[in-house]
């Protein structure tokens, strides 16, 4: 059975006291339900059971620790409120692990916080979604939008849940609940998705940009895609699979990208979401420290997390 480990203190470089020396490890505190609206809450999801089921290479269960370590010594321009709720440790019971994650995410959302989930394989996505779907936020802002930065659709309909099935699971869960989701993907790699997966995406009404359309010379198209997505939803769940990035930036993933989307383009996507006031939860998936080079993938992911959290706008925008 999965367990949620207790908070462990963050440590890192220390140049002295005072705001001018502020780093992440100075501000992160153990999480208990607090009344700081919009405070960031880090939640680890140590799982690569879904990756193994999807015939990928294991190691992503060590991702949360590597992400915390990479983020810990990054400098902060100004003080910020941040908490750590510990890590959901997943064994072979992936489904129970996703339920446990959903419970922690839901609790953080209902307490007025901004959960940032540190994966773990992309099976993390169904757990994060469960937390949002159960949240009281939906009472007044029911239109859920999921924006996935990923080389893959992850829409497989396999009987056993895996890192390749979370968004099909989300569509099935929403359908069973009589609700709906808007799902969009930036960075789809055509050679990494079969025709059957493109057909499934079309059938489900998934909007996507392929990686060829996401270069730094196509910022107008990327911006238009994201703004159109934002106009359709009340609340946004952002999920970043690090294999969307070029292998030169992100070698430490289950499936390194032969092409990939430039970091500048992914930053443009995240900047638009954080500025919208609609982003309520985020997760980062597929960091595999065992295959990383000079912590390159972990540092890149930490830079994205840093940018998302420090640029985050709260409270979520009310439906017009």
Q: 104 falls in which pLDDT band (50, 70, 90)?
A: very high
Phi first, then psi, for residue 25 (nearest 5°) are -70, -15
User: Would you give the DSSP letter of residue 287?
Assistant: B
**Any idea where the domains of the chain sit in the sequence?**
3-310
> What is the dihedral sign for C-alpha 8, 12, 17, 19?
negative
Q: Quick check: 93 pLDDT over 90?
A: yes
Q: 2 falls in which pLDDT band (50, 70, 90)?
A: confident
For residue range 219-245, list pLDDT tens digits in order: 999 999 999 999 999 999 999 999 999
Mean pLDDT of 189-214: 98
* Cα 308 to Cα 279: distance, rounded to the nearest angstrom: 10
Buried/exposed code over 101-111 (b: 16+ C-beta within 10 A; e: otherwise): bbbbbbbbbeb
Mean pLDDT of 264-291: 97
Q: What is the pLDDT of residue 239?
A: 98
Q: 314 falls in which pLDDT band (50, 70, 90)?
A: low
Of the candidates 150, 106, 110, which has an alpha carbon nearest to the alpha carbon of residue 132? 106
Q: What is the pLDDT of residue 3?
A: 78
Q: What is the pLDDT of residue 319?
A: 42
Of the candidates 239, 253, 244, 264, which has an alpha carbon nearest to the alpha carbon of residue 297? 253
Give percent above pLDDT 90 in the chain: 89
pTM of the model as a whole:
0.96
Asked whether 149 and 40 are in contact (CB, 8 A), the reply is no
Q: Quick check: 167 pLDDT over 90?
A: yes
Q: What architecture is domain 3-310?
A: 3-Layer(aba) Sandwich (3.40)
For residue range 132-156, list pLDDT tens digits in order: 999 999 999 999 999 999 999 999 9
Asked whether 144 and 181 are in contact (CB, 8 A), the reply is yes
> Measured between alpha carbons, how far is residue 2 from residues 9, 99, 100, 125, 181 in Å?
21, 10, 7, 17, 28
The SS3 call for residue 109 is: helix
* Cα 95 to Cα 215: distance, rounded to the nearest angstrom: 37
Q: Quick check: 77 pLDDT over 80?
A: yes
| CA contacts within 13 A on the Cβ side of 296 | 16
Q: What is the pLDDT of residue 34?
A: 65
> Measured between alpha carbons, how far is residue 151 from residues 83, 107, 144, 259, 313 in Å?
31, 31, 22, 10, 27
Phi first, then psi, for residue 30 (nearest 5°) are -65, 140
Q: Quick check: 12 pLDDT over 50?
A: yes
Q: 320 falls in which pLDDT band (50, 70, 90)?
A: very low
Give percent above pLDDT 70 in the chain: 97
């Amino acid at each position: 059975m999965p367990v949620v480990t207790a908070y462990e203190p963050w440590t890192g470089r220390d140049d002295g006291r005072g705001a001018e020396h502020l780093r992440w490890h100075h501000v992160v505190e153990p999480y208990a339900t607090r009344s700081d609206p919009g405070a960031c809450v880090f939640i680890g999801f140590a799982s690569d059971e879904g990756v193994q089921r999807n015939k990928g290479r294991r190691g992503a269960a060590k991702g949360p620790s590597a992400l915390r370590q990479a983020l810990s010594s990054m400098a902060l321009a100004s003080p910020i409120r941040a908490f750590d709720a510990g890590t959901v440790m997943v064994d072979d019971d992936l489904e129970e692990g996703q339920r446990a994650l959903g419970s922690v995410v839901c609790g953080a959302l209902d307490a007025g916080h901004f959960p940032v989930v540190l994966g773990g394989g992309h099976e993390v996505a169904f757990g994060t979604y469960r937390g949002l779907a159960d949240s009281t936020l939906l009472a007044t802002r029911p239109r859920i939008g999921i924006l996935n930065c990923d080389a893959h659709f992850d829409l497989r309909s396999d009987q056993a849940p895996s890192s390749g099935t979370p968004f099909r699971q989300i569509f099935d869960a929403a359908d069973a609940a009589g609700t709906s989701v808007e799902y969009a993907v930036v960075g789809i790699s055509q050679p990494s998705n079969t025709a059957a997966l493109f057909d499934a995406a079309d059938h489900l009404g998934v909007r996507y940009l392929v990686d060829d359309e996401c270069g730094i010379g196509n910022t107008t198209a990327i911006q238009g895609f994201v703004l159109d997505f934002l106009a359709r939803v009340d609340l946004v769940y952002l999920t970043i699979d690090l294999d969307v990035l070029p292998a030169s930036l992100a070698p430490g993933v289950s499936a390194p990208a032969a092409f990939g989307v430039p970091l500048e383009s992914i930053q443009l996507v995240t900047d638009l979401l954080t500025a919208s006031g609609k982003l309520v939860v985020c997760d980062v998936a597929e960091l595999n420290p065992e295959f990383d080079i000079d912590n390159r993938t972990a540092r890149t992911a930490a830079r994205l997390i840093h940018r998302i959290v420090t640029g985050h706008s709260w409270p979520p925008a009310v439906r017009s």
